[in-house]
A and B are shown apart, each in its own frame.
Chain A
Amino acid sequence: MERVVLDTVPSMAPLLASSLVRDGVRRVTKHRPRLLPDREVVLADVVQSAGRLATYDRVCGFGVRDLVPATWLHVQTFPLQLVLLSAPDSPFSLAGMVHVTNSMTLLRPVSVGERLRLSSSYGPPREHRRGVLIDMIGEAYVGDELVWRGVSAYLVRGASLPGMLPEDQPDGVRLPSDVDVQADAVWRLPANLGRRYASVSGDMNPIHTSAIGGKAFGFPRAIIHGMWTHARVLAALEPRLTDSYRMDVRFTKPILLPSSVRFGARNEGDHWTAVVRPRSGEKTHLVARISSPTH
């Protein structure tokens, strides 16, 4: 595997922009690379920003404390995902990829004062009835100790790649699209939430930051980042979790901005099941499962 070591956190806006432009060109030329690059992008020494964490905590509903939520570590690896996806030999760009599931494991508590080594790479492509699933694997180390690992699965509709594995992975948790969990708490998502989350996460994808961006991708308005909703669910449950945990999330339907949604969770012995539903109606926006790292 090719290993690209970066010295500094890459600036995400140019990566996103070039990626979007390249995607537009490819839509016209119909020419795409046929394979996922066998590449790992590494940031060898990352100092976490306590100030940025505090802003992230507030935007997502976490308390301000020394220990970081698992989703924060995902945010730290996101620029590396962008580097992978915006490379000229990458078949797909972030535009047009639909974030369908997320799985992350916090192996031990991580403090904001700890320096991290971060990496991101592609997993093998997986079959999906509507296209191909691309796994983006992220890892965070303190020294040589793996402290966090995350897999984000993105669906590229209508695409396929050679050598696709079956959709279900041996260690994967297959979440249903709905669960029998009552959702009573109401979360009100203001219109500017996408911009607020974008500024703290660096994910400036226009689909989240403006109604025009949302319309460009076929939505009536902007939609909130799936990672915000994921983090908000974690924030609601975090005080009840153990020091290490695994969180699996399935994004079933984007949430338009502004809107109100409902949230609920249930303890099922060795794990929590949580759901986010529209304010009215019984569909789901997100289904989540949180368990100990070994489950």
Chain B
Amino acid sequence: MLLALAAVPVVFLLVFYAWPFATLLERAISTDAITTTLSRRRTWSVAWFTLWQATASTALTLLVGFLPAYVIARYRFAGRRLLVGLLTSVFVLPTVVVGAALLAVLPESLERGVWAILAAHVIFNLAVVVRVVGVTWEHLPTDLEAAAATLGASPWQVVRTITLPLLRPALTAAGSIVFLFTFTSFGVIRILGTAGTATIEVEIWRRATQLGDIGDAAVLTVLQLVVLAAVLGWATTSQRRHGRALAIRPVAARARPRTTRQRVLVGTTALATAAVVMLPLGALVMRSFRGSDGFSSAAWRNLGRAEVRPGIRLGVDPLDALVRSLQTAAWATLFAVVIGALAALAIAATGRTGRLLDAGVMLPIGTSAVTIGFGMLITFDTAPFDWRASWWLVPVGHALVAVPFVVRTTLTVLRSVEPRLLEAAATLGAAPTRAWRAVVLPNLWRPLTVAAGLATAISLGEFGATSFLSRSGAETMPIAIERLLGRTGTLLQAQGFALASILAAATIVAVLAVELAGRSGDTPTFGPGAGAGDRTDRRDRARDR
């Protein structure tokens, strides 16, 4: 049974990750490439920059995201879901777009350089912290904190002695995802870095595509993985060590802020978070209205298909690109959720071997998109595996990036399922699968919903992997946007930002829809403890009316 569970994700990883990657390494790597790359001074300055900016970005993001995660997990307030949607949409917008928008709002002195990079990384990844930490926080039993407070602990003491230790696995999980993303940062570095600034990922791209030096690129890919594996190995070990069973309450009662202090806390945090994410989104929309003499709505009036001048069309159909993006996202989400959930179950249920799979699912985000794209190209090139440019290769590429999110969000919750509940069910005579269905399954729904929302969002905004996999026919939104922004002409520029605004809106709607779908399904089947929470929730709602 477990073997069967694990087989699907393992085969998926082997076929779509390990095999192409190994093929590329085998083809490209040579002792010559290894020695030249490792003896190049730039390799080490790039590696050092990559490491420290990722560490700083991760620390800052956790710090900045802590309060919003708390407020969003624990309180009910007007616009809560919208805020989550906004955060997520920023996370998935093509970096080129948010980068350009940030350039528009950052003061001139901060426009380019390390501070701009760190700021962008925090804004981008805030959603990861809020969601991954939030989903655990929702499940933390409030009575522990209440008890501590009753015993006279100050709010700070409660946080330090109760909440933080309980949240630690979630913080590590969120931190490792943010670290992965910022370590492999590409678009942000290219747009906001001063000339010559490069992460290993940027350097790999440059070597592989600009210089045609696949061997050096392959060596750098391995170097990137080694550093990441070291950091993530530490993180997953630590996550497992500190994962503990809590008497979890799926979706603990989310309360309205009652005291003035709570209201101020919730209000300011929500507003500040909204401001941080609205800034680039607002700039985006504003720039779609920019003509050469100031305000112009021409980009929106001529959206897509219209002739901009007699006989001249832009060759971009926003509706078509949006549909293409949504289709791709639907498949990517399906792949990611099925594979991620199976992987999480297998990891949670097995010991040592699970660890391998745990690390394995994280590898694709840590591996340069160029390397995987090029690897797939030379691996899937002969019958019966001639899959190059198959329509499903792009969603599979997206799923590779999204699976770790599904695993992380699901695993944290799975690990905290009280084993005694399973034992109790067994004692009461339930067969293992029956017990599992009654105890574990109900708790899976919520994290899977969150994960599906993230996967959809990741796919909608994915640019890196997409641009290295060959695509036939119509283009996805990020590619269309990039194409418009890369050409001369006021109208094209404005239209690129108009499309980006549409993508942002679509993302917000998609995330909200997935959330709501998850919500409508989650009431009837909750496990022990949930009933009470649920009732409180309903009572609160009744009172609020």
* A and B associate in one complex: no
Give residues in A with beta carbon < 8 Å to B: none
